Amino acid sequence: MIRHLIAAYRQIKTEERKQRDYAALVGTELNYIILKDLINSARWGVVVTVTLKDGTRMDIRPDNPFDRYQQQIQAERAKHGGDW
């Protein structure tokens, strides 16, 4: 029982830290730790769009080795005329 309470307390503290970091991220310089945590916690296929202070937009996607392989295969097929 105490073990579960300690685990819950740690989870609450972690979430509070993330919330503080997120609040610090909004309207300030980029915090790469928060961006990394946000991307790593996102589901597959989620795109994070960040708008910087100067209006520049940046799309961030999780890296998926399978998708990268599929893109390489498509590029090879296009190079060879799609005959294989």
Single out the residue of 23, 63, 71 nearest to residue 46, CA to CA.
63
Residue-wise pLDDT for 20-61, tens only, equals: 877 776 656 666 777 777 777 776 677 778 777 778 888 877
For the chain, domain boundaries:
1-31, 42-84
Total count of residues recorded for the chain: 84
**Percent with pLDDT over 90 in the chain:** 13
Q: Return the pLDDT at 16.
A: 92
Name the average pLDDT for the chain.
Answer: 78
Rounded to a whole number of angstroms, the CA Rg of the chain reads 20
Rounded-to-integer distance, Cα 40 and Cα 18, Å: 13
- Name the pLDDT band for 1 (thresholds 50, 70, 90): confident
